[in-house]
Amino acid sequence: MNKRVLIVDDEPDIVDLISYNLQKEGYEILTAYDGQGALSQAARRPDLIILDVMMPPPDGFEVCKRLKSDPATATIPVIFLTARSAEVDEIVGLEIGADDFIQKPISPRKLLARVRAVVRRNEASPEAGEQETLRSGRLQISKSTFTVKVGGKEVFFPRKEFEILALLVTNRGRVFSREMLLNQIWGSDVVVVDRTVDVHIRRIREKLGEDAHALETVKGVGYRFRNELTEP
């Protein structure tokens, strides 16, 4: 089955340009021209969303926040399009859960490469022999359903937070630098600042509640998850 991509931009010419290039590569296309249309089309569960930032309210950032806060759409990868070049916009976009950030004017070749990379990472399955369910103390992580339970209660984690937590728990006791986490979770072809990792770690700790102490900061190095969840 062909991958389905939702393209959202308030400029029809850009939607047509992206649609044409992706259709040539065999992608099935959905389109929307504003934030509300994007949210409506996202309910059809596309494999990827290409989302313009500067749209009439709700803008791209707000649309992404709503998508990532809804378990039904939280795991759909998002690539932002923007005419702005400020680094702070990229930081905000990545912190709220976007997978990549591409500036206009759009290079079709670059866009296709980014789309392939994001789709490939998103559909990657656990390696042979890797545990589908991880347990540590009161924490239970299901890699097949992207769900996390803390003390028997399911807690919602957006995809990037889930992937960071699963990676650290899978490798309990191993220290990961920020650069290692960036490369493992976002990929080496996406430029992400260190602060993005710190923000995701803070949110993960908040959701772990009384077990947050298990996710340790190794000063000057990075982060690790304790071998066992014990009392602090």
Which residue has tokens 């994007």?
38
- Pairing relation of β-strands 4-8 and 48-52? parallel
All domains of the chain, ordered by start, with CATH?
4-123 (3.40.50.2300), 133-225 (1.10.10.10)
Cis peptide before 126 (omega within 30 of 0): no
- Pairing relation of β-strands 4-8 and 133-136? unpaired
Higher-confidence residue of 89 and 26: namely: 26
- pLDDT(225) > 70: yes
Residue 164's pLDDT is what?
93
Quote the Cα angle for 201-206-207, to 5°. Answer: 100
Average pLDDT over residues 123-130: 51
pLDDT per residue as tens digits for the range 26-64:
999 999 999 999 999 999 999 999 999 998 889 999 999
C-alpha 66/C-alpha 69 separation (Å) is 5
Q: Which of 13-17, 73-77, 88-92, 199-203 has the highest mean pLDDT?
A: 13-17
Average pLDDT over residues 5-18: 96
Residue from 229, 193, 145 nearest 181 by CA? 193
Residue 231's pLDDT is what?
41
CB atoms within 10 A of CB 205: 16
Residues 74 and 67: beta-carbon distance below 8 Å: yes
pLDDT per residue as tens digits for the range 167-223:
999 999 999 999 899 888 887 666 666 688 898 999 999 999 988 999 999 998 999
pLDDT tier at 131 (50, 70, 90 boundaries)? low
| Overall pTM surpassing 0.95 (yes/no) | no
DSSP 72: T
Q: Crossing angle of helices 60-69/87-95, nearest 10°?
A: 20
pLDDT per residue as tens digits for the range 144-173:
788 899 999 999 888 889 999 999 999 999
CB atoms within 10 A of CB 119: 17
pLDDT tier at 127 (50, 70, 90 boundaries)? very low
